[in-house]
Structure 1
Amino acid sequence: MLTQRSSQSESWFVEHVKLDQRIMPKRWPDCQELILVQAGEGHLVVNGNPVVYGPGDVFFLAAQDQHSFSMAQRTSVYRLSFSRFFVDSLPARENHTWGYLDAATSPCLGSIATDVADQDKLRALVVMLLAEKQSLRPSSDNCIVESLMAVILSLVCRLLARSAPTTSVQPTHSSEITRRVIAYITRYIGEPHRLRMDTIADAFNYSPSHLSALFKQQVGASIQQFIIRHKLKLVARRLQQTSLTVSEVADEFGFTDVCHLNKLFKRHYKSTPTTYRLNLLSTL
Structure 2
Amino acid sequence: MRLKNLHRPYEIELLEADQFKARQFKNSFFELVYVLEGTGIQIINDVELPYGSDKLFLLFPQDRHGFEISEKTRFAFIRFNESYLRTQPKEWLQKLEYIFHNYDHLPGCILKTVTDKPLVRSLVEALLREQQSPGSSGVEVTQQLLNTVITIAARNIALIQHAEAYHPALPLSLLGYVHQHIHSPEELRVEKLAAYFHRSPNYVSQFFKRETGETLQNYVNHYRLALIESRLLYTNARLDDIAAEFGFTDSSHLNKTFKKLKGLSPSQYRRSARVTRHIAAV
Query: TM-score category by the smaller chain?
Result: 0.5 to 0.7
Partners of 1:60 and 1:98 in 2: how far apart?
Answer: 13
Partners of 1:34 and 1:146 in 2: how far apart?
Answer: 14
**Equivalence map 1:21-170=2 (5 Å):** 21-22=19-20, 24=22, 29-92=27-90, 96-137=94-135, 142-164=139-161, 166=165, 167=175, 168-169=177-178, 170=181
Higher strand share: 2
Residues 34 and 57, structure 2, Cα contact 8 Å, conserved in 1: yes
| Cα root mean square deviation, aligned | 3.6
In the TM superposition, what is the alpha-carbon distance from 1:153 to its structure 2 partner?
A: 1.4
Q: Which moved more, 1:45-54 or 1:103-112?
A: 103-112
Residues 41 and 48, structure 2, Cα contact 8 Å, conserved in 1: yes
Residues 40 and 70, structure 2, Cα contact 8 Å, conserved in 1: yes
Deviations 1:245-268, CA, capped at 9 Å, x for gaps: xxxxxxxxxxxxxxxxxxxxxxxx
Residues 26 and 63, structure 2, Cα contact 8 Å, conserved in 1: no
Task: Tell me which amino acid in the other structure corresponds to 1:84.
Answer: E
Deviations 1:200-245, CA, capped at 9 Å, x for gaps: xxxxxxxxxxxxx9x957946443389xxxxxxxxxxxxxxxxxxx
Task: Tell me which amino acid in the other structure corresponds to 1:103.
Answer: H
Deviations 1:3-49, CA, capped at 9 Å, x for gaps: xxxx9420111111112445859867421111111111121011111
CA gap 1:86/1:57 in 2 versus in 1, 3 angstroms:
same
3-state SS of the aligned residue for 1:134? coil
Residues 57 and 109, structure 2, Cα contact 8 Å, conserved in 1: yes
Partners of 2:86 and 2:106 in 1: how far apart?
Answer: 24
Partners of 1:23 and 1:52 in 2: how far apart?
Answer: 13
In the TM superposition, what is the alpha-carbon distance from 1:136 to its structure 2 partner?
A: 3.4
Identity of aligned residues (%): 21
Which consecutive unaligned segments of at least 5 residues does structure 2 have?
166-174, 189-201, 216-282
Task: Tell me which amino acid in the other structure corresponds to 1:160.
Answer: I
CA gap 1:146/1:22 in 2 versus in 1, 3 angstroms:
same
Number of residue pairs the alignment of both structures matches: 183
3-state SS of the aligned residue for 2:213? helix
CA gap 1:137/1:20 in 2 versus in 1, 3 angstroms:
farther
Partners of 1:119 and 1:158 in 2: how far apart?
Answer: 13
